[in-house]
Amino acid sequence: MVASGPTAALFQLVAAFTSAAIAVTLYPVLKEHAAGMALGAVAFRLIEGAFYALSAAGTMILISLAGTILGLVAGLLVLFQSIAVLSGTQVVLNLPIFVQEMVLGVWLIVKGFSPKAPAPPPAEMHPAGRHNASPSPPLPTAAAGALPRPLQHPLIGRSRQSPDVRYTARIVQ
């Protein structure tokens, strides 16, 4: 018997976890014999686990897509009057979407939505009346003699001013 649908995706996720777990568990034993080979085995098992997880995600996407396509087919058949509205055929074709929507609704009712993010702590007030989470130190001025010296480029040898000097010079003027 071949598993299909969500059961197959579940088995693929279990395979992903066990593949990675086997590699991590065997690493200390294999490391004693050949450290490089042991690391390679872990790396390739982790890659295998990632592919299993991608396969599980692909399976779930295809299941969802198949339900959407069936719903589209049912809608087109009703539109062109090939089947009657709410006939057994239409209901059966829309059943996968119905189940998916009901599971999502029940899940959200039982588990709830994510709580809102906590409010940030109140910000300190800047003396000028602006909000400022962390007070910044005062800018150096030319009168205080605290301006940095021009930088010397190590390869070119020309001197140039740092961005801080130019910014401070504009403020002071």
Domain boundaries in the chain?
6-111, 144-173
Distance CA 41, CA 150 (A): 54
Tokens coding 51: 């592919």
pLDDT of residue 46: 92
Average pLDDT of each block of 10 consecutive residues along the chain (173 residues)? Answer: 73 90 89 90 91 89 84 87 86 84 84 68 56 56 56 54 50 52
pLDDT of residue 114: 67
pLDDT of residue 133: 52
Q: Kindly state the helix (H) or strand (E) to which residue 101 belongs, with its residue range.
A: helix 88-111
CA angle 13, 17, 19 (to 5 degrees): 110
pLDDT of residue 169: 47
Q: What is the dihedral of CA 150, 154, 156, 157, to 10 degrees?
A: 50
